[in-house]
Amino acid sequence: MENNFIKISRECNGVLIPSGDSIKILKDTPVKITQSLGGYFTLYVNGNLVKIDGKDADAIGQKIEQNNEVIQEQEFDENLIWDQLKTCYDPEIPVNIVDLGLIYDLSYEQSKNEKFYVKIKMTLTAPGCGMGPTIAADVEHKIQSLHFIDDVLVELVWDPLWNKEMMTEEAKLKLGMM
């Protein structure tokens, strides 16, 4: 076995990439960490890619700096929403979803309780990708952590179809496309 494989120290839940199916990774399963971004890990497990939550970092001998702290005492600021979106990643691609060009629209309106309702239209790099619900849930969770947010709706859309021209120059450079 190569020295970059480690054994899981305890059973943990994962999401199979790209199908989005839930799986359990058993204790002592050899895994290789391929990505650690946005509070999640992507692992190579038995020939497959699997996403695990940062709360299971200890199972792979890692620590994660989780920013569970809700930003307090700040007034509504759309830039804070965009900052949160930039902490969301497709588990197969080491570029955030904003720089990938997956966010098509961000709108918001103030609720009766002085908080805000946010609606996000986003797409995926491939229409058949089963990770859509997982990525959308990550977006909802991270936006909801802002204290001035009342509710979030993430809508997956397919028009227009995503293409690499929607990526920022920085993302293209990072992925070797320039």
Domains annotated for the chain, with CATH where assigned, are: 6-60 (2.30.30), 78-174 (3.30.300.130)
Question: Over the stretch 62-85, which tens digit does the pLDDT of each residue have?
Answer: 987 655 455 556 789 999 999 999
How large is the angle between the packed helices 132-144 and 78-85, nearest 10 degrees?
A: 140
| Side chain identity, residue 67 | N
The counts of H helices and E strands in the chain are 3, 9
The whole-number pLDDT of residue 65 equals 64
Instruction: Report how far apart, in Å, the C-alpha atoms of 31 and of each of 5, 7, 18, 20 are.
Output: 5, 6, 17, 18
Closest alpha carbon to 31 in 66, 6, 2, 59: 6
Question: Over the stretch 73-125, which tens digit does the pLDDT of each residue have?
Answer: 678 999 999 999 999 999 999 999 999 999 999 999 998 888 999 999 999 99
Determine contact, residues 137/107, Cβ cutoff 8 Å: no
Closest alpha carbon to 51 in 135, 162, 129, 123: 135
User: pLDDT band at 1, cuts 50/70/90?
Assistant: very low
Token pair, residue 18, equals: 């790209």
**Residue 40 DSSP class:** E
